[in-house]
């Protein structure tokens, strides 16, 4: 799993002097807030969507980490979980949804298909985009076909 | 997909691929060239312009009616189905389902590899009924090469299929109630479903996309622990089903929302090729397990539940009854399961079936699922065509949804139990 | 003069603080209640048993980008959430929390409450209209239809209460109930009031304006960040307010066994809030037309009948 450093956080660390300290601690507070309330977009593509639902259901309960508020509208979501194969017909819509989300926004590529095409990658594959990274920047990759809900939770916590 | 032109067709456009794609992938000798992302951007621009043209004509003429895009990202389209709704106020004038957002070339992949290589894909076509789809594919090839299946394997197949049917119906139960507006049953159903998934993990190791069936038998044996767990599961499920019945089916709001909504008549169902619970709710007792028994289903005692109303509540009631019947079959299978080998050691790993056409169908939780296989005598199948139930079941919404409210369309779509990759393959 | 100014300032700051903190607490409570109804745990990570969860949410929402869609009507779009939050604060002015804890005990208190409460619908319609989104517009249309219709039985139910008490002043309304709570005199009115209240605050089973499985998020589909948070806060504050009004009108306000005081008021209000949450997580949603039928064909006639019976009985008694 890989993780991107928040650019704002990096900028805050570069500041010095008293104001720098104030901004840095404000940034820290904001980051704690963001990390603990990642509202995902209700958005499932394929099989992984079911595991995403299972992760939000009673046994795994994403809500424990404050991430259980699934919002249907991209305007109110912070996190896009790309759960499944990205087909070529769907890809522009995914990009559009990503553009509609307000910053700061995060993307989790869930499952092999969203990472690199998964089992659907073959020579001459005409229907899918091989990896969601080619259209939107993914912050965390969760491997598996489909990943277990624990895997998704782990990915979520590492993105936080 | 083949690039066939039909004269005088009212609306001839691409079904599964992006609207302005210029290739026909299922033709033999097709080779996809170029970059999929570039291709996507190009077609997207054209599609957008066409969409804007439609909305601007409505605006220019100051019409009362308007178009609403429901999906592909919408909480209640169960994935990436898109419904183009032509509405007047809250009333639907016309529904146009746009499919293909989940198309990932399953059939083409079947042609590209050999028979063994297609094992994992059927369970990904309908991820809620992976075991049953596995059986559908394995059954087709078994029919093509004519191989014996051991007694124990037959029982194992019935057990996992019926557990799968229960899991799928539970998932549907929760999702349907969520569409109608109550969120809590969803989580209770998931709780029970997790139980079944645990059992599948014990036999196959996977939670969702199984690869458990082999030509002539199973990948491995069912452990005694798993059988014990299944035996304990049945009474628990029965008591839960009774609770749900009290909480849901007797709720007046739920009855009002579903009764008389989205009536599919018997003729309409037959005309569109609707199968599964949606057909049985219209009063036609067709179940592949009874009418064309595969495996050892004819050795068990069970009934085909039907309803006569054909509305959303009828479909709901039929599915709930089916869960009871599945439990009944499971009970019998679990008591009678014999000892013995779980697979046929004589089953070949690589083989060349005789040239010919083979069809085998199973009853998936959503209807008749069949695989039509053409073999040309080589190691690779010449063509694998999947007859998926959701594809035919979805078509009916065009007739049924008309003149209904927006809220009803959500309810009808939920009651039809659509799995989008099953539509798009 | 200065004294009065300072008093007003203290009240204003106090009310805004109470409204915000209370709404945050309610959101937390809702998440916990829903979780326990659904055999889950709910927020557990932030603070003890997730107590600071909603604070984290608030911090995040404040820091989010605020998007104004390209085709939106910008002035209305910005104004709508503020207007939605405004009646909430204004309504707290006449809430009789305890004998000496009423900001302004107006002699038209009850009238004041309902006239400002109906302002909410304008904000919702503004939000839906200005977003230039079909789902928002549908949600707003449903919301207006619903709130305006349900105001009728709601007011008729309250009218019966006022008829009995003979005063519109909030403190007198509560004082009247020091022997017997109004719920025992007017049980039908209480039920109608609660149903109307559920509909007025867009709570399930009457939550059709933001029906998630149909309209995504209803009238606030296009709102993000702080503006969305304002809608969210005003929704929960409305739930609280409806419970407050119900407590004052029907459940005897601050009166209770042992010591009378604000604690009884708060306990009753939170009990009612809990009931509303319980209902939300138990029942499915009605369809818009069924909702209207229920209002005009069942609730309104019963409310009128109740009013008539009350009038006749009062005439006979006196």
DSSP conformation letters of C162-205: HHHH----HHHHHHHTTSS-HHHH-HHHHHHHHHHHHHHTT-TT
| Interface test with chain A among C32, C54, C60, by most A beta carbons within 10 Å | C60
**DSSP assignment of C112-168:** HHHHHHTTHHHHHHHHHHHTT-HHHHHHHHHHHHHHHHHHHHHHHHHHHHHHHH---
- Residues from chain C that touch B257, judged by Cβ atoms under 8 A, are 284-287, 290
| Single pTM value for the model | 0.85
- The CA distances from residue C101 to B325, B371, C7, C14, C262, in Å, are 63, 75, 13, 12, 8
Q: Which two tokens stand for residue B151?
A: 């007694």
Residues 151-170 of C with CB under 8 A from B: none
What is d(CA B19, CA B46) in angstroms, rounded to the nearest whole number?
9
CA angle B302, B307, B313 (to 5 degrees): 120
Q: What is the reported pLDDT for B206?
A: 82
- Residues from chain C that touch B184, judged by Cβ atoms under 8 A, are 34, 37-38, 281-282
What is d(CA B107, CA B136) in angstroms, rounded to the nearest whole number?
14
Secondary structure of residue C30 in the 3-state scheme: helix
Mean pLDDT of C267-293: 84
Length of chain C: 318
Min CA distance, A32 vs chain B (Å)? 29
Q: What is the reported pLDDT for B94?
A: 81
Min CA distance, B259 vs chain C (Å)? 12
Q: If you average pLDDT over every residue of chain C, what do you get?
A: 81
Q: Is the pLDDT of residue C262 over 70?
A: yes
User: Is C66 part of the contact surface with chain A (CB cutoff 8 Å)?
Assistant: yes
Per the CB < 8 A criterion, the answer to whether B360 and B371 are in contact is: yes
Closest Cβ opposite residue A85 in set B41, B100, B104: B104
Q: Is the pLDDT of residue C70 over 80?
A: no
User: Is A25 part of the contact surface with chain C (CB cutoff 8 Å)?
Assistant: no
Query: Which ipTM did the prediction report?
Result: 0.79
CA closest to B174 among chain C residues? C284
**Centroid of chain to Cα A102:** 14
- Residues from chain B that touch C211, judged by Cβ atoms under 8 A, are 181, 407
Q: Do A61 and C35 touch (CB under 8 A)?
A: yes
User: Is A71 part of the contact surface with chain C (CB cutoff 8 Å)?
Assistant: yes
If we measure between CA atoms, which residue out of B375, B396, B397 comes closest to residue B385?
A: B375
Beta bridge mates, A142: A110
Closest Cβ opposite residue B25 in set A43, A45, A126: A126
Q: What is the reported pLDDT for A3?
A: 41
Per the CB < 8 A criterion, the answer to whether B396 and B416 are in contact is: yes
Q: What is the reported pLDDT for C213?
A: 64
**Long-range contacts for B50-54 (Cβ within 8 Å, ≥24 apart)?**
B50/B19
Closest Cβ opposite residue B253 in set C34, C205, C215: C205
- State pLDDT tens for residues A25-35: 777 777 777 77
Q: What is the reported pLDDT for B54?
A: 67
- State pLDDT tens for residues C50-61: 777 777 777 777
- Residues from chain A that touch B188, judged by Cβ atoms under 8 A, are 58
* Beta carbons within 10 angstroms of residue B309's beta carbon: 17
pLDDT grade, residue C131 (50/70/90)?
A: confident
Domains and CATH numbers, chain A: 1-36 (no CATH), 38-159 (3.40.50.12280)
- The CA distances from residue A4 to A108, A139, B251, in Å, are 11, 6, 49
**B–C interface: beta-carbon pairs under 8 A:** 79
- Residues from chain B that touch A90, judged by Cβ atoms under 8 A, are 72, 80, 101-102
Q: Do C287 and B407 touch (CB under 8 A)?
A: yes
Secondary structure of residue B315 in the 3-state scheme: helix
Identify the CATH assignment for B106-424 out of 3.30.365.10, 3.10.560.10, 1.10.645.10, 1.10.1740.10: 1.10.645.10
User: Is B184 part of the contact surface with chain A (CB cutoff 8 Å)?
Assistant: no
What is d(CA B251, CA B256) in angstroms, rounded to the nearest whole number?
9
Q: What is the reported pLDDT for B35?
A: 64
- State pLDDT tens for residues C207-254: 776 766 667 777 777 787 788 888 888 888 888 888 888 888 888 777
Q: Do B181 and C285 touch (CB under 8 A)?
A: yes
Per the CB < 8 A criterion, the answer to whether B292 and B136 are in contact is: no
Q: What is the reported pLDDT for A1?
A: 36
Sign for the pseudo-dihedral over CA of C200, C202, C203, C207? positive
Per the CB < 8 A criterion, the answer to whether C282 and B184 are in contact is: yes
Min CA distance, C57 vs chain B (Å)? 22
The domain locations on chain C are: 67-317
**DSSP assignment of B244-287:** HIIIIIT-HHHHHHHTTSSPPPHHHHHHHT--THHHHTTT----
User: Is A13 part of the contact surface with chain B (CB cutoff 8 Å)?
Assistant: no
- State pLDDT tens for residues C176-201: 777 777 777 778 888 888 888 888 77
Q: Which two tokens stand for residue C174?
A: 């509560």
| Interface test with chain B among C140, C211, C284, C288, by most B beta carbons within 10 Å | C284
Q: Do A36 and C53 touch (CB under 8 A)?
A: yes
Could you give the dihedral angle defined by the CA atoms of residues B21, B27, B31 and B34, in that order, rounded to the nearest 10 degrees? 0
Q: What is the reported pLDDT for A11?
A: 47
pLDDT in tens, chain B (425 residues): 666 677 777 666 677 777 666 677 777 777 776 666 677 777 777 777 777 776 666 656 666 677 777 777 777 777 788 888 888 777 888 888 888 888 888 888 888 878 888 888 888 888 888 888 888 888 888 888 888 888 888 888 888 888 889 889 988 888 888 888 788 888 888 888 888 888 888 888 888 888 888 887 888 888 888 888 888 889 988 998 888 888 888 888 888 888 888 888 888 888 888 888 888 888 888 888 888 888 888 888 888 888 888 888 888 889 888 889 989 898 888 888 888 888 877 777 777 888 888 888 888 888 888 888 888 888 888 888 888 888 888 888 888 878 888 888 888 888 888 888 888 87
């Amino acid at each position: 799993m890989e993780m991107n450093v928040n650019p704002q956080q990096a900028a805050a660390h570069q500041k010095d002097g008293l104001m720098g300290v104030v901004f840095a601690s404000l940034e820290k507070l904001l980051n704690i807030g963001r990390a603990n309330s990642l509202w995902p977009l209700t958005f499932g593509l394929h099989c992984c969507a079911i595991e995403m639902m299972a992760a939000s259901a009673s046994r795994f309960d994403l809500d424990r980490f404050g991430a259980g508020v699934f919002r249907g509208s991209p305007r109110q979501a912070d996190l896009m979980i790309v759960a499944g194969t990205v087909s070529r017909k769907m890809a522009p819509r995914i990009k559009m949804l990503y553009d509609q989300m307000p910053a700061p926004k995060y993307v989790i590529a869930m499952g092999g298909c969203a990472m690199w095409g998964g089992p659907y990658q073959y020579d001459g594959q005409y229907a899918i985009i091989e990896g969601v990274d080619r259209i939107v920047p993914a912050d965390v990759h969760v491997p598996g076909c489909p990943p277990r809900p624990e895997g998704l939770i782990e990915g979520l916590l590492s993105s936080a | 997909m083949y690039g066939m032109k039909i004269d005088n067709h009212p609306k001839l456009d691409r079904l599964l691929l992006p609207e302005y794609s210029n290739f026909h992938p299922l033709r033999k000798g097709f080779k996809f060239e170029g970059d999929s992302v570039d291709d996507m951007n190009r077609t997207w621009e054209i599609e957008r312009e066409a969409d804007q043209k439609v909305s601007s004509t409505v605006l220019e003429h100051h019409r009362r009616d308007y178009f609403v895009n429901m999906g592909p990202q919408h909480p209640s389209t169960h994935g990436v189905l898109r419904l183009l709704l032509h509405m007047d106020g809250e009333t639907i004038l016309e529904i146009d389902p746009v499919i293909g957002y989940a198309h990932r070339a399953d059939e083409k992949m079947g042609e590209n590899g050999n028979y063994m290589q297609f094992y994992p894909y059927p369970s990904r076509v309908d991820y809620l009924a992976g075991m049953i789809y596995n059986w559908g594919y394995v059954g087709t090839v078994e029919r093509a090469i004519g191989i014996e299946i051991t007694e124990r394997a037959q029982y194992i197949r019935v057990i996992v299929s019926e557990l799968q049917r229960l899991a799928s119906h539970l998932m549907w139960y929760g999702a349907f109630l969520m569409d109608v507006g109550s969120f809590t049953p969803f989580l209770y159903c998931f709780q029970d479903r997790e139980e079944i998934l645990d059992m599948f993990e014990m036999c196959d190791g996977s939670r969702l996309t199984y690869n458990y069936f082999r030509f002539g038998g199973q990948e491995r044996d069912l452990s005694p622990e798993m059988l014990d767990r299944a035996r304990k599961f049945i009474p628990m499920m029965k008591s839960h089903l009774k609770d749900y019945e009290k909480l849901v089916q007797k709720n007046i709001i739920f009855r009002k929302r579903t009764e008389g909504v989205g009536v599919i008549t018997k003729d309409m169902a037959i005309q569109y090729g609707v199968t599964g619970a949606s057909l049985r709710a219209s009063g036609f007792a067709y179940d592949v397990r009874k009418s064309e028994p595969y495996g050892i289903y004819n050795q068990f005692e069970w009934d085909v539940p039907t309803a006569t109303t054909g509305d959303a509540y009828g479909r709901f009631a039929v599915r709930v009854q089916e869960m009871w019947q599945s439990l009944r079959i499971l009970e019998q299978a679990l008591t009678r399961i014999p000892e013995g080998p779980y697979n046929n050691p004589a089953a070949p790993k690589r083989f060349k079936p005789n040239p010919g056409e083979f069809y085998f169908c199973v009853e998936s939780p959503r209807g008749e699922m069949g695989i039509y296989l053409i073999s040309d005598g080589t190691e690779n199948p010449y063509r694998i065509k999947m007859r998926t139930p959701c594809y035919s079941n979805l078509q009916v919404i065009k007739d049924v949804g008309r003149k209904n409210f927006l809220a009803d369309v959500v309810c009808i779509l939920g009651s039809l139990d659509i799995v989008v990759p099953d539509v798009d393959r | 003069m200065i004294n009065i100014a300072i008093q007003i300032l203290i009240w204003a700051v106090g009310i805004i603080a109470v409204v915000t903190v209370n709404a945050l607490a309610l959101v937390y409570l809702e998440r916990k209640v829903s979780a326990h109804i659904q055999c889950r745990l709910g927020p557990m990570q932030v603070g003890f048993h997730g107590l600071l969860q909603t604070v984290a949410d608030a911090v995040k929402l404040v820091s989010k980008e605020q998007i104004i869609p390209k085709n939106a009507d910008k002035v209305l779009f910005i104004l709508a959430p503020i207007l939605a939050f405004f009646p909430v604060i204004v309504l707290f002015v006449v809430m009789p929390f305890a004998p000496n804890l009423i900001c302004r005990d107006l002699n038209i208190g009850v009238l004041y409450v309902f006239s400002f409460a109906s302002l909410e619908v304008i904000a919702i319609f503004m939000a839906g209209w200005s977003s230039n989104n079909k789902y928002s517009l549908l949600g707003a249309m449903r919301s207006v239809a619903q709130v305006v219709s349900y105001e009728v039985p709601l007011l008729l139910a309250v009218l019966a209460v006022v008829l009995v008490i003979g005063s519109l002043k909030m403190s007198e309304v509560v004082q009247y109930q020091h022997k017997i709570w109004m719920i025992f005199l007017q049980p039908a009115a209480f039920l109608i009031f609660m149903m109307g209240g559920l509909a007025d605050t867009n709570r399930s089973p009457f939550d059709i304006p933001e029906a998630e499985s149909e309209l995504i998020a209803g009238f606030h589909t296009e709102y993000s960040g702080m503006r969305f948070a304002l809608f969210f806060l005003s929704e929960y504050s409305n739930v609280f307010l409806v419970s407050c009004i119900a407590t004052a009108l029907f459940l005897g306000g601050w009166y209770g066994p042992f010591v009378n005081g604000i604690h009884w008021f708060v306990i009753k209000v939170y009990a009612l809030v809990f009931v509303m949450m319980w209902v939300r997580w138990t029942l499915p949603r009605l369809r818009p037309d069924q909702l209207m039928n229920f209002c005009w064909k069942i609730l309104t006639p019963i409310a009128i009948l109740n009013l008539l019976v009350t009038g006749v009985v009062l005439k006979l008694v006196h």
